Amino acid sequence: MIIGLIIDLELRIWYIIKYHTEALCMEGEKTLSEVRRDNKNRKLRTGESQNKDGRYRYKYTDANGDRKSVYSWRLTDSDPHPKGKKKDISLREKIENIQKAKNDIVSPNGGNMTVLELVQKYLGQKRGVKHNTQANYNFVLNIIKKDPFGAKRIDKVKLSDAKEWLIKLQDDGKGYSSIHSIRGVVRPAFQLAVDDDLIHKNPFEFQLATVVVNKSVTREAITRKQERDFLKFIKEDKHFSQYYDAIYILFHTGLRISEFVGLTIKDIEFDKERIKVDHQLQRTRSMEYVIQTPKTEKGERYVPMKEDVADCFRRIIKNRKKPKVEPMIDGYVGFLCLDKNDMPMVALHWEKYFQHIREKYNSIYKVPMPCITPHVCRHTFCSNMAKSGMNPKTLQYIMGHSDIGVTLNTYTHLQFDDALEEMKKVCNE
């Protein structure tokens, strides 16, 4: 009796084990059979399939929750293009692009930020900004505040939107230089948003010249003859002759006007035949005088001083006004050129002097003098030195350029005659 019960129990256990084993095997076989393959017996991944006509398909859900499909006649890029079918990238390449796009989804919180808010955030991180640079930042901010573009969400700004906005600014009367300044702030601001993963692409990453027409007049160097005629006219004019020495210095040193007006008596080192340049003078819109470091990191330098330039400095110092109270700007005293209020002359003074001189010259002579500014003097000096064969690195040092490319490309205005003369010189050596 007991033995029978045991046998019966063993049989029950055996059947249970057998049943489950067979079930598991069947399940395994079922799973294996469900692995989809294409007509080349290649395994297809989740979402991939192949139609009866041989075309591959991939189903997916986009960022908005909508079901979509993409198709291709090739599974991988190594597959040949079927004859008679339009050439296209492979399905796997399309899937990869879809995945990249999913990874580039804009942050929902960041997307709510406006263009104005982004620019304010970017500028808020700037420290130790010079006066002129800060003035430019304020100019850009005011433009953006007044323009509807400033209220636009940054995740809604497309490449075409950015281009259309800059075109609109020019149509509204903004000059090329102003638009260049605006883009110079907005582009890095959007790059900040990219770096912070708020947006996936910078819509302002394009060449400005391909969108906005540069209608500005390039400040070219004048010829040696024009320089001589201009200086001769100033020297012989009863009124403007008082500015001759300063203008001669600008033509023969390449100093920036802000560097020149910042010079003090002790900066002119006659015994060492050099001019010490380690600061510049600026005047703000609120009429505040400030001393700043030179424009570039290479700006601190000693500029060689030839005897004719030294003579000009000696006359300026000799004829310098004796103010009742010597003006002091941020600890600096002894500025070379003072105005009627016994304050140092600034760039604006000299811009006006150049303008009036040119106007009088052109009212007398039939052949007009081109626009000449203190910066044109700097252009001209650099160009003359380049034509004379000065080593580019030496010229870079004298000019205070941080990048030699600026020295070579921006300031050296060489013409065909210069090239011809140089070629003859080289060939005859």
- 378 carries an active-site annotation: yes
**Which of the pair, 130 or 208, is modelled with greater confidence?**
208
Of 235, 295, 315, 360, catalytic: 295
Residue-number span of the structural domain to which 131 is assigned: 109-210
Same domain, 229 and 204: no
Classified as helix, coil or strand, 132 is: helix
Choose, from 252, 283, 378, 413, the residue flagged as catalytic.
Answer: 378
Does the annotation count 225 as an active-site position? no
> Does 15 participate in catalysis according to the annotation?
no
Residue 312 shares a structural domain with residue 229:
yes
Q: Which of 9-23, 250-264, 413-427 has the highest mean predicted lDDT (pLDDT)?
A: 250-264
Residue found under tokens 């870079």: 396
The CATH number linked to 71 is 3.30.160.60
Tokens of 122: 């970017």
Active site residue 315: no
Domain end call among 322, 339, 373 = 373
The question of whether 401 is a catalytic residue gets the answer: yes
Give the residue with greater pLDDT, 286 vs 56.
56
- Percent of the chain at pLDDT > 70 equals 82
Using an 8 Å Cβ cutoff, are 274 and 304 in contact?
A: yes
pLDDT digits (tens, 9 = 90+) for 203-217: 999 988 888 887 655
> What CATH code is carried by the domain that includes residue 142?
1.10.150.130
Do 231 and 201 fall into the same domain? no
> Are 41 and 71 in the same domain?
yes
Predicted confidence (pLDDT) per residue in 297-316, tens digit: 778 999 999 999 999 999 99
Whether 66 is in a domain gets the answer yes
Last residue of a domain, one of 182, 210, 238: 210
Structure confidence by residue, pLDDT tens digits, 1-39: 444 444 454 545 444 444 444 444 444 443 444 578 999
Higher pLDDT, 245 or 124: 245
CB atoms within 10 A of CB 214: 14
Catalytic residue among 74, 256, 379, 387: 256
- Which one from 92, 387, 401, 413 is the annotated catalytic residue? 401
Do 363 and 228 lie in a common domain? yes
Check if 295 is active-site.
yes
Spatial CA neighbour of 151 closest among 184, 110, 122, 113: 113
Please state, in angstroms and rounded to a whole number, the distance separating the CA atoms of residues 348 and 408: 28
pLDDT at 298: 79
Residue 422, pLDDT score: 60
Amino acid sitting at position 203: P
* Helices 244-253 + 224-236 axis angle, to 10: 160
Long-range contacts of 231-238 (CB under 8 A, 24+ apart): 233/357, 233/361, 234/357, 237/357, 237/360
Residues 345 and 252 in one domain: yes
Domain assignment present for 11: no
Single out the catalytic residue among 152, 187, 375, 397. Answer: 375
Instruction: Say if residue 228 is in the same domain as residue 325.
Output: yes
pLDDT tens-digit readout, 23-79: 444 444 434 445 789 999 999 998 999 999 999 999 988 766 678 899 999 999 899
Residue with the bigger pLDDT between 80 and 428: it is 80
Q: Are residues 196 and 117 in the same domain?
A: yes
Residues 311-343: tens digit of each pLDDT: 999 999 999 989 999 999 999 999 999 999 999
Structural domain count of the chain:
3
Residue 394 in any domain: the answer is no
pLDDT digits (tens, 9 = 90+) for 362-404: 999 999 999 999 999 998 999 899 888 888 899 999 999 887 7
Instruction: At 246, list the tokens.
Output: 């300063």
347 shares its domain with 284: yes
Q: Residue 409 has what pLDDT?
A: 61
